Amino acid sequence: MSSMTLTYSGQLRTQGTHLASGNTLVTDAPVDNNGRGEAYSPTDLACSALGSCMMTIMGIVAERNAIDLTGMTMAITKKMAADPRRISEVVLEVQMPARTFTDKEKAMLENAARTCPVALSLHPDITQSVSFHYA
């Protein structure tokens, strides 16, 4: 059974629907690839999925260990290669909330991020550059 559907709307735009929730998501081709760039591109979504997965798995570990990650943010930079056109690197900068973390907590959380399902699913030619910034 499907968990999501996609519809091609024309002009390099798609609309996806998550069947369980009914939430929708629009993608556009980026301007540098003949698109309008008015929404996430498919490669933007891949990078966002990586960041979201990292944060989610970190959240699971944090909840198990009574660590509050409220306010954690992440800046994501996508780098593309030209021939063939593909994601070559994802730079993820995690800003941890302003609190004191023990070395053990840092190790657990950073390991959780680096071993999330999306991180482990991406092709090994895609460099995942992850940095953690503690206040």
CATH number for the domain that contains residue 81: 3.30.300.20
Q: List the domain range (segments joined by +) for residue 25.
A: 4-33
Residues 25 and 62 in one domain: no
The Cα–Cα gap between 36 and 8 comes to 15
Q: How many domains does the chain have?
A: 2
Q: What is the pLDDT of residue 93?
A: 98
Which residues, other chains included, contact 108 with Cβ-Cβ below 8 Å and sequence gap of 6+?
Answer: 61, 65
Query: Which residues is 18 bridged to in the sheet?
Result: 4
10-residue averages of pLDDT along the chain (135 residues): 96 97 97 94 97 98 98 98 96 97 98 98 98 95
- In a shared domain, residues 49 and 89: yes
Cα(109)–Cα(60) distance, rounded to whole angstroms? Answer: 9
Q: What is the pLDDT of residue 130?
A: 98
pLDDT of residue 135: 85
For residue 8, the Cα-to-chain-centroid distance in whole angstroms is 23
Q: Are residues 72 and 116 in the same domain?
A: yes
